[in-house]
């Protein structure tokens, strides 16, 4: 909010200047802007504030599905998005986006099976690390994509949130829990006469474990939505550690060990278009022992009647987003052009953040 008003003040000052008694006064709490300038400059200020107000009043409804897929043995390298095929009269784009790739400008995008995707499909991405896999398609619901994911493994829908947010305002979706862990220990010493008492003070801090999704939409005049998507998987485990406090003795305290897997991407889609982002993998191992009852538990010879194995499994997190622009009276009003005549000069202009 502070950045918004600072930007408004800088822009208005650039329009009218600071010489000849010109002045710009803002009251963010009341949403009031007062500008002292010439009549022609005040018309430009009014048109600018109208354009800003039209932009910030736009809203978008974000529908999301956070899905975890336990991959089959044939899909241990990840979901084969190229097998999704065509959907919705060909309104589909599939491919891997490396960091810095912007699909829609220049160059083609290739899938693992050699399929080449030409630019111009409204998919843009920039990711941390080695990139991610994604697709964009036009559909009325998520059913087609969920059916496809079931061919890649066992599908579990972790969350299906819906949230409305303003243009250029971040929406945060979280699925998980906060646990308190020790982050610091201090010793307090108090004296009373000849007696000295020392006591430890433990500092606790919450750590989030789960899935966090930050989405910032930017709506243009054509109704297209640019989504800045930042998914994060945080896994916090407890690690006990002995802390020596000298004369107070040693204490065994639960400390937090955190593991984070995240990507950062920018996707441009049309109103109502579904975007899926994958590539966040999680690997787990389970030790399994099978054998004959009683005989397998016998010492020395029991090993001949039992078998131990380690089962490896991989899970991939898939995030599906569907932005829907919330319209008023069907269409957005056109923003006025700068310099066009409007209301009489001299009136105070008002804007809302």
Q: What is the pLDDT of residues 31-40, one digit of tens each?
A: 888 999 899 9
Q: Contact 117/86 with Cβ under 8 angstroms?
A: no
Chain segment 198-241, per-residue pLDDT in tens: 777 778 888 888 888 899 998 887 778 888 888 888 888 888 87
The answer for residues whose C-beta is within 8 angstroms of residue 343's C-beta and 6 or more apart is 43, 46
Burial 102-117 (b: 16+ CB within 10 A, else e): ebeeeeebebeeeeeb
Mean pLDDT across 91-99: 46
Q: Which residue has the tokens 């030409």?
A: 118
Mean pLDDT across 270-276: 82
Residue from 221, 196, 193, 175 nearest 319 by CA: 175
Mean pLDDT across 118-131: 33
CA distance 50 to 330: 19
The residues pairing with 172 across neighbouring beta strands, listed in sequence order, are 214
Please give the pLDDT value at position 300.
64
Q: What is the mean pLDDT of the chain?
A: 72
Domain shared by 169 and 186, yes or no: yes
Domain shared by 156 and 211, yes or no: yes
Domain shared by 286 and 185, yes or no: yes
Q: Contact 58/51 with Cβ under 8 angstroms?
A: no
Q: Please give the structure tokens belonging to residue 257.
A: 């060990």
Domain shared by 346 and 292, yes or no: no
pLDDT of 330 over the 50 cut: no
Phi, psi of 15 (to 5 degrees): -75, -45
Q: Which residue has the tokens 């202009």?
A: 349
Number of domains the chain is built from? 2
Domain shared by 4 and 65, yes or no: no
Domain region containing 246:
59-331
Domain shared by 134 and 14, yes or no: no
Domain shared by 66 and 128, yes or no: yes
Domain shared by 213 and 245, yes or no: yes
Domain shared by 215 and 349, yes or no: no
CA distance 118 to 111: 12
Domain shared by 125 and 63, yes or no: yes
Domain shared by 204 and 352, yes or no: no
Q: How confident is the model at residue 85 (pLDDT cuts 50, 70, 90)?
A: low
Domain shared by 246 and 349, yes or no: no
């Amino acid at each position: 909010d502070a950045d918004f008003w600072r930007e408004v003040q800088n822009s208005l000052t650039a329009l009218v200047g600071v010489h000849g008694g010109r002045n710009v006064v803002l009251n963010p709490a009341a949403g009031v802007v007062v500008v002292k300038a010439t009549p022609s400059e005040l018309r430009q200020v009014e048109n600018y504030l109208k354009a800003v107000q039209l932009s910030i009043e736009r809203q978008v409804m974000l529908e999301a599905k956070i899905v975890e897929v336990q991959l089959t043995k044939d899909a241990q390298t990840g979901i084969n998005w190229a097998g999704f095929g065509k959907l919705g009269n060909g309104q589909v784009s599939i491919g891997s986006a490396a960091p810095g790739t912007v699909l829609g400008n220049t160059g083609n995008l290739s899938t693992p099976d050699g399929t080449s995707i030409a630019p111009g499909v409204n998919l843009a991405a920039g990711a941390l690390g080695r990139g991610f896999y994604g697709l964009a398609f036009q559909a009325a619901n998520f059913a087609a994509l969920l059916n496809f994911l079931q061919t890649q493994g066992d599908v579990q829908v972790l969350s299906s949130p819906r949230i409305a947010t303003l243009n250029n305002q971040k929406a945060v979706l979280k699925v998980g829990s906060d646990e308190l862990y020790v982050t610091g220990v201090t010793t307090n010493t108090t004296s009373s006469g000849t007696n000295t008492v020392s006591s430890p003070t433990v500092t606790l801090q919450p750590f989030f474990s789960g899935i966090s999704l930050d989405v910032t939409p930017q709506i243009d005049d054509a109704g297209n939505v640019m989504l800045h998507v930042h998914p994060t998987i945080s896994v916090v485990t407890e690690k006990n550690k002995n802390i020596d406090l000298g004369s107070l003795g040693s204490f065994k305290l639960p400390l937090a060990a955190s593991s984070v897997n995240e990507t950062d991407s920018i996707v441009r889609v049309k109103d109502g278009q579904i975007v899926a982002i994958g590539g966040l993998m999680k690997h787990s191992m389970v030790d399994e022992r099978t054998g004959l009852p009683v005989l397998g538990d016998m010492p020395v010879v029991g090993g001949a009647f039992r078998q131990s194995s380690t089962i490896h499994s991989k899970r991939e997190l898939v995030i599906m987003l569907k932005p829907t622009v919330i319209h008023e009276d069907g269409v957005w009003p056109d923003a006025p052009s700068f310099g066009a005549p409007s209301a009489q000069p001299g009136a105070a202009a008002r804007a809302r953040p």
